[in-house]
Amino acid sequence: MVLVVVLLALWLVLSIVGFAIEGILWLGFIGVVLFVATAMVGWLRRSAHRKA
């Protein structure tokens, strides 16, 4: 679970940097996609763990 939180924080920082600097706007979009994907994986793992 700690890994998921660290990854979420990393993707959030990359997104902010990407949107703040106009030349690397693509980094912001990649950060958002990775943030959403990591959040979904973390949510699925947590819900699977509760059912077991």
With CA atoms as reference, report the closest residue to 35 among 19, 16, 12, 13: 12
The reported pTM is 0.82
Asked if 28 and 15 touch (Cβ cutoff 8 Å), the reply is yes
Q: How far apart are CA 35 and CA 4, in angstroms?
A: 10
Apex 37 CA angle, 47 and 8, nearest 5: 90
Q: pLDDT (tens digit, 9 = 90+) per residue, 3-50?
A: 999 999 999 999 999 999 988 999 999 999 999 999 999 999 888 877
Alpha helices in 1-52 (DSSP H): 2-20, 25-51
